[in-house]
Amino acid sequence: MAQARVPPQTGSNSFSETEEQSKVRFQTELEFVQCLANPNYLNFLAQRGYFKDTNFVNYLKYLQYWKEPTYAKYLKYPQALHFLELLQYEQFRKELANQQCAKFIDDQQLLHWQHYQRKRVQLLAAEAEHGQEMTETKPA
């Protein structure tokens, strides 16, 4: 993996991280942000009251730096950024406590992936067919 830029720190404390601590924080925050792509995990957090904790909500706000291309390139599940954005809204955080809401989001995500996969296969097949036609019609 390429050398990751150390994410910004919050607060004005005089604590300075070592390089190793910065790497661990980067990995931990990366892992947590990617977990936000899972609606069932969001439901779990909501049902246990995490979204009512001001410190936790502030932490979610702090994690917005992951939207920057410098950091976003490390995400395996980029939809996590969409959920991170939605989590900035209190109404969304409240709705996540409802299991049916989380199930609906999960279903929509699966439908999107299925459609995306089918569409991608169709586009690749059409591109390959077009490429084959171009090579067959080239004058010798």
Q: What is the pLDDT of residue 87?
A: 97
Q: Is the pLDDT of residue 1 over 90?
A: no
The per-residue pLDDT for range 95-128, each reduced to its tens digit, is 999 888 788 787 777 776 677 677 777 777 888 7
Which position has the higher pLDDT, 122 or 136? 122
Q: What is the mean pLDDT of residues 86-90?
A: 96
d(CA 49, CA 11): 24
Map tokens 């077009």 to a residue.
130
Helix-, strand-, coil-residue percentages of the chain, each rounded to 5: 70, 0, 30
- Give the pair of three-digit tokens for residue 26: 């980067």
**Assessment of whether the complete model's pTM goes beyond 0.75:** no
Specify the CATH number for 19-137; select among 1.10.287.130, 3.20.20.210, 3.80.10.10, 1.10.10.1340: 1.10.10.1340
Residue 2 reports pLDDT greater than 50: no
Residues 3-59: tens digit of each pLDDT: 555 566 655 455 788 999 999 999 999 999 999 999 999 999 999 999 999 999 999
Q: So what's the pLDDT on residue 6?
A: 59
Per domain, the residue ranges of the chain are 19-137
